[in-house]
């Protein structure tokens, strides 16, 4: 890996070449990194090749080699290898009873946890991890750490990882006393194809200005490109493969285009809290948060508090958690999200929130979201007092639900298409200690129902007093409306006639939709 890169320089990397180490661009100015030649992208990785493999005489399917460091991750060729864990499967996990905030009563097949970590599900949407400090007489003690208020549960589901005795299946590795052990899927020697990574970045561009990374390939990094605190970072026509933490960290003014993120253990792309003026376009994200056993993930494209962002024409598939998360002054347009929320729940394909209750001025338009997993997975999730959001012309199909408004107000839900969502098309969910949902507009949407899935659910902790304030409904098209048309707090299940008489008398709803309800047709004749 080049050691010194001067400001205002273009660093040409040889095509087809692998550069091992960390490329340091901290506080660099106007540096460009590019591939020279046409024999394939130059590759950067913090990983080192591991050589000198021999069979384990006790288990011939396992190979071992000496390493000078404890790896963070291992890759054989293009294949990510998971660290050894117990139990083997993603579910069910082990269960333990909480003794204290730092201790669990558990029963384990081996009491050697000297270098182990515990990974546990702290909430539907959150997986935590800590080192194990000790295990004695059935009591497992966690090392100190910050759980952000989400610690062990009274009955905690967990798994353990990192010990050699857990190496009992193909596709796993473990490190013990300077030796790296691996069980390849194909049983063949890892010689010539094994890369072990420390916890390290591939490109460290923290605090830089005007750095451009164009046409390169990155693999096996904890963070592919760390541009936190940077200004005007450009990442274009680049591949980032198998990151253990995240592919990209961004600062203000970043421009990401034609990026391909293939696999990560946790997150995809994130930005500084105070970042602004960022765009992510025409990029592809596959398998974010899906490498190895389940871990914490914040999502694929994550702008928690960054403002003035544009996310357009991206493709996201097979994600552990949220597809796209944005905040204020954002536009999310023409993205395709397929199969997200696969490992964590309380999740959205496109997600936003406004805990400060200030107007978001955010547009979510023409996105296609499908195949989200789980009951609490919504194509579009307007959470925690989201307001001032325009949700326009999106296609939401085969998800847990179409849209959830959690304490949301003054939002526009217009001209969207809802197809075959499994539990409801639109959920209004009022959990705040005060009446919060009001002033939403639901108009010109098309609802295609199959079976008896309700079109709407209106729920409030305050009873039915305020449900009529939740939204104005107009000019919607209800195709094949179910008999159980809507579930309303304090009123139970309503058919479409009762819905019109008690909640939303949509005189301008399309005739093709209304004609499917005999009771409603008679009501119209009486009027």
Rounded distance between C-alpha atoms, residue 169 and residue 37, angstroms: 42
pLDDT at 507 (0 to 100)? 78
Do 252 and 327 reside in the same domain of the chain?
yes
Do 192 and 274 reside in the same domain of the chain?
no
Do 427 and 474 reside in the same domain of the chain?
yes
Beta strands 94-100 and 172-176 are unpaired
* Domain-terminating residue out of 131, 159, 187: 159
pLDDT at 511 (0 to 100)? 44
Do 96 and 204 reside in the same domain of the chain?
no
Q: How does DSSP classify residue 467?
A: G
* Residue-wise pLDDT tens digits, 398-450: 999 999 999 999 999 999 999 999 999 999 999 999 999 999 999 999 999 87
Residues 6+ positions from 57 with CB-CB distance below 8 Å: none
Low-confidence ranges of the chain (pLDDT < 50): 511-527
Residues 6+ positions from 146 with CB-CB distance below 8 Å: none
pLDDT at 515 (0 to 100)? 38
Decide: pTM greater than 0.85. Answer: yes
* Residue-wise pLDDT tens digits, 292-310: 999 999 999 999 999 999 9
Q: Which domain holds residue 382?
A: 346-527
* Domain-terminating residue out of 279, 310, 344: 344
Q: How far is CA 31 from CA 24, 27, 105, 213, 487, in A?
A: 11, 10, 54, 9, 58
Instruction: Give the H or E element holding residue 518.
Output: helix 518-526
Q: Is 498 helix (H, G, I), strand (E, B) or coil?
A: helix
- CA nearest neighbour of 131 among 149, 148, 113: 113
Do 308 and 386 reside in the same domain of the chain?
no
Do 492 and 438 reside in the same domain of the chain?
yes
Do 447 and 497 reside in the same domain of the chain?
yes
- Mark residue 490 as left, alpha or beta (left: phi above 0; alpha: psi -120 to 50; beta: remaining): left
Say which residue the tokens 């390849």 belong to. Answer: 184
Q: How does DSSP classify residue 101?
A: T
């Amino acid at each position: 890996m080049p050691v010194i890169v001067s400001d205002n320089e273009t660093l040409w990397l040889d095509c087809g070449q692998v550069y091992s180490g960390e490329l340091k661009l901290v506080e660099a100015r106007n540096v460009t990194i590019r591939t020279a030649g046409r024999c394939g992208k130059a590759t950067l990785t913090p990983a080192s090749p591991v050589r000198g493999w021999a069979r384990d005489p006790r288990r011939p399917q396992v190979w071992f080699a000496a390493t000078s460091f404890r790896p963070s991750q291992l890759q054989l060729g293009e294949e990510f290898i998971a660290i050894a864990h117990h139990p083997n499967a993603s579910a069910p996990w082990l269960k333990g009873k909480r003794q204290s905030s730092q201790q669990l009563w558990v029963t384990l097949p081996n009491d050697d946890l000297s270098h182990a970590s515990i990974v546990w599900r702290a909430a539907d949407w959150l997986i935590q991890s800590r080192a194990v400090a000790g295990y004695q007489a059935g009591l497992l003690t966690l090392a100190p750490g910050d759980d952000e208020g989400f610690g062990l549960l009274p009955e905690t589901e967990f798994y353990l990882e990192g010990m050699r005795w857990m190496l009992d299946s193909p596709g796993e590795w473990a490190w013990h006393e300077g030796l790296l052990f691996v069980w390849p899927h194909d049983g063949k020697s890892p010689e010539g194809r094994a890369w072990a990574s420390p916890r390290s970045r591939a490109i460290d561009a923290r605090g830089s200005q005007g750095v451009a990374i164009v046409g390169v390939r990155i693999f096996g990094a904890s963070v592919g490109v760390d541009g936190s605190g940077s200004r005007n970072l450009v990442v274009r026509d680049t591949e980032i493969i198998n990151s253990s933490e995240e592919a990209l960290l961004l600062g203000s003014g970043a421009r990401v285009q034609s990026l391909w993120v293939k696999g990560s253990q946790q997150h995809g792309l994130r930005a500084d809290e105070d970042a602004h003026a960022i765009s992510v376009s025409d990029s592809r994200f596959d398998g974010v948060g899906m490498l190895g056993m389940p871990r914490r993930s914040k999502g694929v494209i994550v702008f928690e508090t960054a403002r003035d962002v544009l996310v357009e024409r991206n493709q996201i598939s097979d994600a552990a958690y949220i597809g796209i998360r944005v905040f204020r002054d954002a536009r999310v347009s023409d993205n395709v999200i397929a199969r997200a929320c696969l490992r964590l729940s309380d999740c959205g394909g496109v997600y936003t929130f406004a805990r400060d209750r200030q107007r978001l001025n955010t547009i979510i338009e023409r996105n296609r979201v499908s195949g989200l997993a789980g009951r609490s997975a919504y194509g579009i999730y307007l959470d925690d007092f989201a307001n001032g959001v325009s949700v326009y012309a999106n296609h939401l199909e085969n998800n847990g639900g179409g849209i959830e408004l959690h304490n949301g107000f003054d939002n526009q839900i217009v001209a969207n298409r809802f197809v075959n969502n499994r539990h409801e098309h639109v959920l209004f969910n009022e959990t705040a200690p005060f009446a919060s949902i009001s002033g939403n507009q639901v108009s010109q949407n098309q609802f295609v129902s199959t079976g008896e899935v309700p079109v709407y659910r209106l729920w409030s902790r305050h009873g039915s007093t305020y449900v009529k304030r939740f939204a104005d409904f107009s000019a919607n098209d209800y195709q094949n409306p179910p008999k159980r048309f809507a579930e309303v707090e304090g009123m139970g299940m309503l058919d479409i006639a009762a819905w019109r008489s008690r909640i939303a008398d949509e005189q301008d709803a399309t005739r093709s939709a209304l004609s499917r309800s005999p009771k409603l047709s008679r009501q119209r004749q009486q009027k």
